[in-house]
A and B are shown apart, each in its own frame.
Chain A
Amino acid sequence: MIRAAQDNRLAGGAIDRSRTIRFTFDGKSYAGHPGDTLSSALLANGVRLMGRSFKYHRPRGVLSAGSEEPNALVELRSGARQEPNTRATTAELFDGLVAKSQNRLPSLKFDAMAINDRFSNFLTAGFYYKTFMWPAAFWEKLYEPIIRKAAGLGSLSLQDDPDGYDKGFLHCDLLIIGGGPAGLAAALRAGRAGASVILADEDYIFGGRLNAETFAVGMQTGQAWAAATMAELQSLPNVRCMTRTTIVGAFDHGIYSAVERVSDHLAVTPAGKPRQILWRIYSKRALLCAGAIERPIAFENNDRPGIMLAGSMRAYANRWAVTAAKRVAIFTNNDDGHRTAADLLAKGVKVMAVIDTRADAPRIADCELLPDAQVTDTTGRLGLSYIHVRLGDGSERNIECGALGVSGGWNPNVHMTCHQRGRPVWNAEIAAFVPGESGTPGLTVAGAANGDFSTAAALRTGSDQAAAALRDLDIDAPALDLPQAEDAPINLQPFWYVQGGKGRAWLDQQNDVTVKDVTLAHQENFRSVEHLKRYTTLGMATDQGKTSNMGGLAIMAELAGKSIPEVGTTMFRPPYTPVPIGTFGGRARGKNFHPTRETPSHRFSVEHNASFVEVGNWLRAQWFTQPGEVHWRESVDREVRAVRGSVGVCDVTTLGKIDVQGTDAAGFLNKVYANGFAKLAVGKTRYGLMLREDGMAMDDGTAARLSEDHFVMTTTTANAVGVYRHLEFVRQCLFPDMDVQLISTTEAWAQYAVAGPNSRKLLQKIVDPDVDITNEGFEFMACREITVCGGLRARLFRISFSGELAYEIAVPTRYGDAMFRRIMEAGREFDVVPYGTEALGVMRIEKGHAAGSELNGTSTALNLGMGRMVSRTKDSIGSTLSQREGLNKPDALMLVGFKPVDSTHKVTAGGHLMTKGTPVDAKHDQGYVTSAAFSPSLNSSIGLGFLRDGGNRFGEILTLTTPLTGADVDVEVVSAHFVDPKGDRLRA
């Protein structure tokens, strides 16, 4: 590897020359110093070409020196830590940094895709809309794959991110966004007043623009003043100073989100530390001191590497001691551009000329001044060699230079004031938008972000606005003795683009939008700014058009014959700068994506080869694989046969349990269940169907009356949270004076279904001797508080989901594991099996019990075959609207069963039912299958589903069609109760 010298390094700067660090770019090794960014180090090494553009693959260099950068996007690091589309201007250099250019094939200097640039006439605004309309079949097979391959910039590693991310919460009186002169003055005033302050800056040192300028502040350099101020702020316990922290969004009620890049500047994230933290900052007041962003001027071929913003060129020289080339020129419409010339001259860089669009351009720097002149074009392969200048008298001149600093003025950084619908307003003096009155509530603005560009104004307004914000909070902040600082106006004459070119003058370099594209959009009548933005993609790249929107607006205004404020602006939206997905995710990834709830029998289930299924946050045993079982169906069929043949046990703890107590408990249940509960006897359980107010089934379960004023109700596992919420709504909002209290006891009780003909015999070994569970002493649907295992309190319910003689027994959760094992132990003589949710599902389908697939939000009690359960003699939620005519038509869907005519065929859930011989379309649809399973009891596939007028169609043969798979099966309509339709087994 060749090691290039830092030929373009200048004297001075805030870099640590005592240390040299090595990095590579596209495999080539370079040297830089601590304090460098990737872009400053590349420029120091004479590298101007840093990437290829998005659409035309044009060679591009760096435009800016900050987070607004549209061009110099690179891939950082390698392997799993590879990160695409990182701005070289904000990437801090570290030893061993590996960076690669993007969007080039095969190499940055020779990019085959640059052929796109030759076809630029075809690739203008609206290209996709116009080109790929026809023929439709070509889209999927031809166009899309090509576009997908060609589009995008960086590439993903496709490996898991090895770094950790975190989230945190902060509170403060005053959040100060940006640590330049305005932010520092504000923090000083608020900090000295004792207010709780957070000062955040995206940079790795505070000072903002002071670090890029040569101005004095008081008797010190700007950098020294910033350092001294920071020393004081950091000594104050009430001030939290956060570097490398970008405020990315302003949200409701003073909440801001911030991304702190904890270890992006290090080779490897230190053990135990996150790479980035997403902070949620609750502020009472906030002050935006985010400065301003310079804007370019558009002219022909203004995107060549070496052409950059004049203020950034100055920042590279002053802060990083770097020039992009030995010979530079400046193109400006304001006095600030001249400062760059002066600062570079002072550093020994040859400034060939200052080209100023103004006829009365002042002489500020000691170099050639070309007033009333414009840069009309540029040349140079892979980087700038010459600029072509048109002078005021019409004559033309070529100037040799390797870099050009362009300044079209500065735009206040209003981004954060727009996140809450705030609209900026036009300030003609600086020809830029400034924050409007109706911005983000609680957020005020100071310094350049408000259009006050001088250092003195920044210090003054920062201090004043901090005091004003604290006054709102009744905190008195004494005035500061502010230092003297420069206070010059920038004297700008608006100038947006150079006329007379072919239109290949770039506005948005990240999305490759030119002056010609905006003109075309106007011609094709996309004239509102929002249309312009979407048609041309101007400002839609990850930089949100920070350097490009104004140019586009100005040109659109000119074409429309309107003023810029009349044309208006598009919305800035969070995040201010791109945020990695991992940062939004924080710790919630992999196993921690959501909490895991384990059932009381979880350990037993793991020990016994259970496969688990996620039901909400719960992990439930799906089936238990025994030695020799290869296919899951073998396990499930065995479990079903064992339950129906002898006895099995299933953990049903996950069903929601709600304790309902109070003198109005029965009345309350009467309101929330469609069927009646007032007359339910103590010691009895009843099935309950809960409707929504619109008459659709919401949930079902049982309610057991343990005493006159005490019920225990169950809900389905999936709806436990929603049903509880609904019950509280009914209790607090509809019947506020009912004497009834609710509490969820789902986690308090371990509950097991013990099912099968031998369940009673098994349980007799568990319950204490005085507990009578004979059929006479504890009949079907009985419930009772009992003791088990020698005095342990328990609840016993004789309810059955499987259709067998069955019980559910509940013990306090801490005894759950022991109880499950005790049941297995006691049941050994009956060959008891544990069974999972699949066997549970098979048995409820065999029995014709509705479950989640049937309670699907569109089914009524009538559809479920429970129409008569809806009491008309009382008021309950949903009872009135369930009587609507449309829901009670004679041919309404009814829950029935299906069997394949050929028992080797399969019933498929989701399939639709058609009368034989009718067309397969929605008009002739007869219903659909909701649940299906193989029934070991019938040795056939079976299904449940909704069928028009289903109750009167038993015996009819229908076609079950599943157009997605193309499989059609003949099925016979049967009763939903495949097993024990009379319920003899339940009552045995």
Chain B
Amino acid sequence: MIINHPLLGPRDAQEFTYLGDASLIDRPDWEAADAQEQFYEYAYLRDNPAGEHRELWFHEIGDRSWLVVTRNTLTHEITSVEMARDVARSKGRSK
């Protein structure tokens, strides 16, 4: 596979390591009343779609950016690649 890195252009997937569902960005608030339940879902429950999937890839043999790659799990077609940090900020994550 080829991942079109937003900063570095097309790179072979072998330069990356895979983590999984991009929902790992959505880490719950530890002080929420139902934090235990939220963290349980965060840590263990994943969708396993046949089709479009947003997932985290780490450019380990590269610039060490975490990327959010939107990939079709049936065809492996990649429709978007974003910097995970930008995605995290867009979801309101900060410090």
- List residues of chain A with CB under 8 Å of any chain B CB: 251-255, 282, 420-421, 441, 664, 667, 693-694, 721, 725, 728-729, 732-738, 875, 879-881, 883-884
Contact = CB atoms under 8 A, between A and B. Distances in A.
B43 A881 contact: yes
A254 B12 CA distance: 12
Contact of A732 (B31, B74, B85): B85
A875 B94 CA distance: 14
Contacts of B77: 441
B46 interface: no
Contact of B17 (A664, A725, A733, A738): A725
B43 A729 contact: no
B39 A733 contact: no
Given A725-B17, A736-B94, A875-B31, 12 more contacts: A253-B1, A253-B76, A693-B39, A694-B43, A721-B60, A725-B58, A729-B66, A732-B85, A733-B85, A875-B30, A881-B36, A881-B39
Contacts of B88: 732-734, 736
B84 A738 contact: no
Contacts of B94: 735-737
Contacts of A664: 95
A441 B83 CA distance: 26
Interface string B45-89: 000000000001010100011100000001111100001110111
Contacts of A693: 27, 39, 42-43
A441 B13 CA distance: 18
A945 to B, nearest CB: 27
A721 B17 CA distance: 11
B24 to A, nearest CB: 7
Contacts of B17: 725
A805 B75 CA distance: 60
Contact of A880 (B36, B65, B84): B36
9 contacts: A251-B1, A255-B1, A255-B2, A664-B95, A694-B44, A729-B56, A732-B85, A736-B85, A880-B30
A732 B39 contact: no
Nearest to A253: B2
A407 B85 CA distance: 62
A733 B84 contact: yes
Given A733-B88, A737-B89, A282 B2 contact: yes
Which of A251, A441, A737, A883 has the largest number of chain B CB atoms within 10 A?
Answer: A737
Nearest to A730: B27
Contacts of A252: 1-2, 13, 76
Contacts of B19: 729
Contacts of A728: 58, 64, 66
Interface residues of B, number: 38
Nearest to B65: A732
Contacts of A879: 30
Contacts of B75: 420-421, 441
Contact of A884 (B36, B84, B85): B36
B4 to A, nearest CB: 10
Nearest to B25: A733
Given A725-B60, A728-B66, A738-B95, A733 B24 contact: yes
A729 B58 contact: yes
Nearest to A729: B66
Contacts of A875: 30-31
Contacts of B31: 875
Nearest to B68: A733
Shortest Cβ-Cβ A-B pairs, 5 listed = A875-B30, A737-B94, A253-B2, A252-B1, A252-B76
Which of A253, A420, A421, A729 has the largest number of chain B CB atoms within 10 A?
Answer: A253
A173 to B, nearest CB: 15
A369 to B, nearest CB: 51
A733 B36 contact: no
B30 to A, nearest CB: 4
A727 B56 CA distance: 14
A738 B28 CA distance: 18
A735 B93 CA distance: 6
Which of B19, B28, B42, B43 has the largest number of chain A CB atoms within 10 A?
Answer: B43
A735 B19 CA distance: 17
Interface in B27-42: 27-28, 30-31, 35-36, 39-40, 42
Contacts of B44: 694
A693 B44 CA distance: 10
A308 B30 CA distance: 74
A251 B13 CA distance: 12
Contacts of A721: 60
B84 A732 contact: yes
A721 to B, nearest CB: 8
Given A725-B60, A728-B58, A735 B43 contact: no
A734 B27 contact: yes
A591 B55 CA distance: 36
A738 B85 CA distance: 11
Nearest to B60: A725
A812 to B, nearest CB: 23
Contacts of A282: 2
Nearest to B2: A253
Nearest to A254: B2
Contacts of B27: 693, 734
Contacts of A736: 85, 88-89, 93-94
Contacts of B35: 880
Contacts of A421: 74-75
A880 B24 CA distance: 15
Contacts of B13: 252
Contacts of B36: 880-881, 883-884
A693 B95 CA distance: 18
A536 to B, nearest CB: 30
A407 B60 CA distance: 55
B2 A733 contact: no
A694 B27 CA distance: 12
Given A728-B64, A880-B36, A884-B36, A737 B58 contact: no
B56 A733 contact: yes
A902 to B, nearest CB: 46
A667 B64 contact: no
A254 B78 CA distance: 13
B93 A734 contact: yes
A251 B19 CA distance: 21
Contacts of B40: 881, 884
